[in-house]
Structure formats: structure tokens, C-alpha cells
Amino acid sequence: MLLTFLKRLPVLYSAFFQSWQSFQQVDNLATISLDSLRNRGIQGVILDLDNTIVSEDDRYLSPSAEAWIQQAKQVGFKFFILSNGKRRYRVEFWSHRLEIPALSPARKPLPMSFHRALKAMQLQPSQVIVIGDSRHTDILGAFLVGCPSIQVATLPHPFRWWEKLLGKRVQTPYPAHLELWNCEPY
């Protein structure tokens, strides 16, 4: 299976970069219309954690993210968190706080974790949207399994070496004019 995937990788990357406009970009999670998702037939959400919901260094929380998640649950959306974060205790904390099952490390963009989330939610890829801040993990992973996706602007965080090299190609900076919420210590 892995060998088949690796053989198809150049074709998949080519198709992904050709379909750059197939995903939506927004400033933050709370700006996504639940009615719009429902109208597209979406019933589930695979969420990234780091720099999508909370900054990787735990300084900032995406404004109204928790309220948006609660509202989405109340109208019947299913959720699953996939995180590449290496600090499992942190992912477990947010999984518990948000009452959403999580997998970490997810090894995104590899499809295995996405398939596991789809199976847990008992939904088909076309019924699930992937929301995250990174094109090379979240958006590419969504594409590889056939899920639609939305890229949110990345919350401010200390940049890693590869982010400094690739910059805007993989993430959209959080708009300076928008509000940021300080994260409560846990």
C-alpha cells in the first residue's frame, strides 16, 4: 500500500498544485458559516489544533473558536482533531476541553490518520471538511483522501526553520488588524 502511494505521489502533488483554487481561505475558524457547510452536505469536521484553534506556544486562542465548535456540535456536526504536535499531553488537554476525539501525532499529510478520523465519524470524505492552517499538511492531506478543505490564517507563533524558508507558500499570516484572544493557562 505504501509503495503504491509513493509511486502515485508525483501525480498527486501535480494535481494538488493544479487545483490550488479548490480550497477556501478564511481569517479564522469563527468566520466559517455553518449554514454554508450544511448546504454543501458537510456533516463532519476534521480540525487541526496547533495554530488553528490555539497557537503552538499556547499564547493565543482563535477568537470565538470554542463557541463556534459548540454551536456546530449543537446542530449535529461531528468532530475529530488531527494534530502533528509532539506534546501529546497538550493535545489530550484540548481534546478533553473541547470534547473532541483526537489523534497525535497524526503524521499529516499521510492519509492513514484522515481515514481513521473518517471511520470514527462514520462519514464519507465528501461529507467531511478539513480545517487547518497549513497547505502542506492539512490541505494536502484533505486532498489526498478526497475531503474538501478550508485554510485558516495561522495564529501567531514562533516560526520553525522550514516555515521561515517556505513562508506564505504553506501558511497565510494572521491579519494584524484582527482580534486575538490570550489563552488561559491550563
DSSP state of 105: S
Q: What are phi and psi of 142, to 5 degrees?
A: -60, -45
What does DSSP say about strands 181-182 and 60-61: parallel, antiparallel, or unpaired? antiparallel
Residue 6 has a pLDDT of 53
Closest CA to 146 of 35, 32, 24, 16: 16
Residue 19 has a pLDDT of 42
Residue 21 has a pLDDT of 43
Distance CA 24, CA 80 (A): 20
Which amino acid belongs to residue 180?
L
Give the chain's domains with CATH numbers. 22-182 (3.40.50.1000)
DSSP state of 41: T
Distance CA 103, CA 181 (A): 25
For the chain of 186 residues, list the mean pLDDT of each consecutive stretch of 10.
Answer: 59 49 73 95 96 81 89 97 90 94 95 97 96 89 94 71 55 61 61
Residue 59 has a pLDDT of 76
Residue pair 37/78 in contact (Cβ under 8 Å)? The answer is: no
Let me know if 96 is exposed, middle or buried by CB neighbors in 10 A (0-12, 13-18, 19+).
Answer: exposed
The model's pTM: 0.78
